Amino acid sequence: MTRRLVATAAGLVLLASGCLTLDSFFFSNEPVEDYRWDDDPCDPQLQGEITEAENRLEGGPAPSCHPSRIGPDERHEGFVSLEDGRKIHYVYAHNPAATTTIFYSHGTSRHLGRYWDRVELLWSWGYNVMIYDYPGYGRSEGEPDQAGVYASARAVLERVLPDMPGVDLDRVFFMGYSLGGGPTYQLAFEASAGTLSVTPRGVVTEAVFCSTEALIQDGTRLDLPVEFLSDNPFDNCDRIGRLDRDLPVLLVHGAADDFIVPLHAHMLHDAAVGEDVTLLLVPESDHSEVPVAGRELYEQSLRDFFDRLAPTE
């Protein structure tokens, strides 16, 4: 009996060893064959977070998704290849009246269709918006990892954005939401170091974490090193601390965010070294609700930031 018990326990250990990884929980990607932008009533792939938040906070009866408010003439879709051959999908929303462009890096959920209503919102304010999918997300090929996230952002920014209609490379802002804070701060860091061909006028991040390690430590309440649990050591606090001091940064965070708690926004703010760094905590707003719960404050703050740093002549 004893020997059987010991053998069973040893078997369990061997069976369990090495068969799981934690990073599969970090990226919540979902492949998509195509986005049916103009389907009426709507393509479920375009079910956006803002629309969901509106339903949740305002009690509907808004539909869960809607056909794209940005028409086919304003949408420019395509692919760009990474060095390893993976093709990265991007969509550029061109606003003919815009003089400013926002380079948008989305969160971890599904694919860019999940964030299309955020693109629509920025576009409706009078800006061009470029959004893209990380490897393994939407129509982009491969599997997601930190290096691939950075590489896809760099490829779209440097090799695609300059050729898009209406883009003035001197009037570009980097914006990232949640996971998108990683590539946003990485690109801003590279621009500050002079290794990127596009220099942003400013950086906006929303609901972004300080680092993967801080996320792990916040969740476990222990001082565990990041390498225990992840091969994707995003370190936005490190990057924000190494940006050009003249590069303005706006940090937006929901004060009631219980997914990435506001502590991370404070940590980012404390790590920043720039002379123009603003922390905006939106009251009563959860992780994905900032544009809805803080509608006027959100719009006013972002538009003021963009228009102050890139005024229309």
Partner 1 sequence: MVMAGAVVALVGSGCAAPNLSRTVGRGNSELHASAGGPFAAVLGPPLPVPHANVGGRVGVSNRVDLDGNVNLLAMAFQILAFDVAANVQLYRRRGGLAVAGSTRLYLMGDLDEPPATRLYPELGLHAGGPVPRVDWLHLYGGQTLVVSPNPPRDGSAVFWTPFFGVEFLLPYQRARRGRTRQHGIAIHTAWMNPHEQRNTVLDYQPSRGAIAVHLGYRLRFGGLDR
Residues binding partner 1 (CB under 8 A): 1-2, 5-6, 9, 12-13, 16-22, 25-26, 212, 214-225, 227-230, 258-261, 263, 267
Nearest approach, Cβ of residue 68 and partner 1 (Å): 30
Q: What DSSP state is assigned to residue 93?
A: E
Place of tokens 């919540």: 28
Q: What DSSP state is assigned to residue 164?
A: S
Closest to partner 1 by CB, 218 or 299: 218
Closest to partner 1 by CB, 83 or 223: 223
Nearest approach, Cβ of residue 66 and partner 1 (Å): 27
- C-alpha 155/C-alpha 81 separation (Å) is 8
Nearest approach, Cβ of residue 191 and partner 1 (Å): 28
Closest to partner 1 by CB, 117 or 206: 206
Strands 172-177 and 87-93: unpaired
Closest to partner 1 by CB, 34 or 227: 227
Cα–Cα distance list, 154 to 13, 112, 158 (Å): 42, 17, 6
Nearest approach, Cβ of residue 228 and partner 1 (Å): 5
Which residue type sits at 144?
A: P
- C-alpha 1/C-alpha 207 separation (Å) is 54
Listed in sequence order, the DSSP H helices in the chain are: 2-16, 49-58, 116-124, 146-155, 181-192, 212-220, 236-240, 263-271, 290-293, 295-309
Rounded to 5 degrees, what are φ and ψ at 205?
Answer: -130, 145
Nearest approach, Cβ of residue 256 and partner 1 (Å): 9
Closest to partner 1 by CB, 5 or 97: 5
Residue 66 contacts residue 44 (beta carbons within 8 Å): no
Nearest approach, Cβ of residue 23 and partner 1 (Å): 9
Closest to partner 1 by CB, 162 or 219: 219
Closest to partner 1 by CB, 248 or 262: 262
Nearest approach, Cβ of residue 286 and partner 1 (Å): 10
176 exposure class (CB count in 10 Å sphere: 0-12, 13-18, 19+): buried
Strands 75-81 and 87-93: antiparallel
Nearest approach, Cβ of residue 17 and partner 1 (Å): 6
Place of tokens 């005024």: 311
- C-alpha 14/C-alpha 34 separation (Å) is 42
Closest to partner 1 by CB, 68 or 288: 288
> What SS3 class is residue 283?
coil
Q: What DSSP state is assigned to residue 138?
A: B
304: left (phi over 0), alpha (psi -120 to 50) or beta: alpha
Nearest approach, Cβ of residue 226 and partner 1 (Å): 10
Closest to partner 1 by CB, 40 or 223: 223
